[in-house]
Structure 1
Amino acid sequence: MKFVENPTQSAEYLRQAIPLMVKYNIPPNPLNYALWYTYVSNRIPTLNFQIDQTIETYGTCPTMMSEQLFRQHVINEEIEHSEKAQAEFISIATKLGSKANAAAQETSEFRTILEESLIALNNPENANSLDNIINNLSEHTESLNKGTIRFQKELEASQAEILKLKKELQKSRQDASIDPLTGLFNRRVFDTELSQIIGARGDKSATLVMIDVDHFKRFNDDYGHLMGDKVLQYFGKLLKEECPEPMLPVRFGGEEFAILMIGKDQDQAISIAETLREKIQSIRIKQKKTGKVISSITASFGVCMKESNETAQQLIERADKALYAAKGNGRNCVVTA
C-alpha cells in the first residue's frame, strides 16, 4: 500500500479518521491510524465493507480483527514481497543443492579418469618414457581419492543443512496470541478484546461465560498430566466448533476457559453453555496402557450479561462468582449472575 497524498489531503484524512476511532473505541496506535486512514480515503472498497460489517457485529473493531484487516489490505503488498523473497531464497537453496550434486558427480568422474590414466600409464610398454609421470600420479592419486571422499561428505552435510533451512522457512511461526496446547486465543487476547468491546458505544449485548474443568487437579493426579493435556485439547477443539465468530473462546488459564459472546443475551448464552456441558460430560478417553475408559470429566459454568456502565473487571468478577456458585452447587452445572 503506497500513500501518495499531499500534506493537505493527508491532514484531512487524519481529521476524518480520529473521530471515527474515538466513536468506536479504537485504540490510538500506529496500526489503527493506518487502517482508519485507509478507510476514510475509500481507496479499498473491500476493506471499508469488512470494517462496516465488523462494526455492525461488535460495535467496534476488535484488535485481532484490526490486525487481520491491516495485514490483509494495508500491507498486503509488503507481505507478498516478503513471501516472494522467501520463495526466491528457497529456489536458490534448491539450486545450490542441485549444483552440489553435480559437483560431487564431476569429482567422482574425475577420480575415475585419474584411476584409469594411472592404469594406462602403468603399462610396462610406457615405463621408460613416462616414469616421472607415473611416479607423480602414484603419489597424488591416493591423496586425491581421500580428498574427493571428504568433499563428497561435506557436500552431503551442506545438502542436509539446505534441506533443514527450507523446512524452517516453510514452517509457520507460532502466533504469540495462540495457546499452543488448545489452539485457542490466550488471556492476552481476551483482555484486549473485552476491554475494547466493553468500552465501545452502542447497544451491542455482551455476555461472558467462564468455564472450569471439575476436579482437574485430582484428574491429573489419578491419570497423569498427559491425559490432562488431552482433556484440555478436547476442550479447545469443542469450543472452536461450538463457538464460531463473533464469539471469542479463549484459554483463560490452567484448566479455566472463557467465552465472550457478542450479540448474545443471557438466555442464548445459557443455552450454548448447556450444550457444551452436555458434550463435555459425554467425553470418553481410553488409556492406551490399561485400556480403561475414563468417563468422569465434567465442567462448571458461570454466565453473566454485561450491565450498563460495567467495567471489564467487574464483568469478570461477576462471572467468576457465578462459576464458583456452580461449583458450590455440586459442579457440572450452569449458574447465572
Structure 2
Amino acid sequence: MQTASSGKAQTPDIAAQVTHAMRMMGVAPIPRNYELYYEAYLGSNPQLSKELAALGSRATQEELDAIGAQYFSHIHRSTGIERAHTTLAAKLAELVTLLRDEQYALENYNKVLDEAYVNIVSKSASSADILRHAIGILTDATAETMSQGKERVETVVQKSFEMEVIRQELDEYKRIANTDSLTRLANRRAFDDNLAAVYNNEHLRNFTGLLVADIDHFKKVNDTFGHPVGDKILATVGGVLRANLRREAFVARTGGEEFAIILGDSSQEECLQIADRIRTVLAATPFRNSKTGVNYGPITLSVGVCMATAAEDPVDLYNKADIALYSAKNAGRNKTVLFEDGMRKESGRNWLIYRR
C-alpha cells in the first residue's frame, strides 16, 4: 500500500463561489438551480456551461428548469412524483370510505340481529309467528350483507392492487432521482442521505469507513480527447468500482470525476486494502478505442480514507476524507492516504448541496 503525508495546496470553496455567482445573477438559491451552476463551475459539461452563459443575468426560472430537465432529469421529476402521490392519496381515501361503508353495513346487521333476538324472547306473539318473522329478517339481512361483503372484498382487492402499482411507480421515481445517469451509480443526493445515516446508528459509526476517490489528471483527458471520451471513461471507472466492491458497499459518483464509497462492517485495515485494490485494478484496466487504437490511459485514482469514528458527524467525515484525498494528490497521485490527526485542514468543498 502506498501512503503519504498531507500537502499544503489550497482548494477553492466551490460552494461559496457557486452561491455567490448565483446571487450576483439573481438566480434563486434552490437545490435544482445549484446543481446546474455547480456542474457548470466544474466544467464537466461544456454545452451546459454555454447554455447557462447564453441566458446572461436575466435567466427566468422557467428557462433554468428547461435546461435542468434536459441535463438533470432526475431532479426535475417532481411533477410525476406529485401526480403519483395525489393518485395514491385518492386511492387511500376511496379505501377508507369503503371500509367505513362496510362498518356501517355491519352495524346495521347487528341491529337486525338485536331486533330478531328481542322478537324471539317476546311473549306477546305465538312461537310460530316469532320464528317465522325472525327467520325472514335474518335470511334477508344475511343474504344482503354477504352480497355487499363480497363486492366490497373484491373492491378492496382491486384498490390494494392499484395502490401497489402506484407504490412501485413511486419507488421507480425515487430510484431514478437517486441515480447518476452517466455511470448508473448512486448520485450526490443518495450519497448525502446514506452518509448521514451512518451517524444515526452507533454500530454503523463504529464499523464504517468512507473512501473519497478522484480520477487523476481528468481535465487533461477531457482537453486532449474531448468530453464524449471523458464520459465513457467515467462510466468505465464506475463499472470497475462496482465490480470490485462487495454487494452491500455503497458507491456513488459525487460530482465531476469524484466518487465516494461507504464501507459498512469494515475495519480500517479492510478499508485501506479495498482502496488499494480498486486503484490497482483501475490502473491495469485498458482504456483504448477499439476502432482507432488510440490509447486514453492509463487512468488512475487518488483515494482518501477516513473512518467514521475519527469524525464528529457526516460533514466532518467527508471533509477529513477529502483532506486525505488531496494529500494523496499532493504526494504524486495514484495513492491511498488515511486521514490522521494533525493533517492540514484544507478549505474543503461543501458536500451538502442538497440540504435545504
When normalised by structure 1's length, the TM-score is 0.49
Larger RCO (alpha carbons 8 Å, 6+ apart) = 2
Larger of the two Rg values belongs to structure: 1
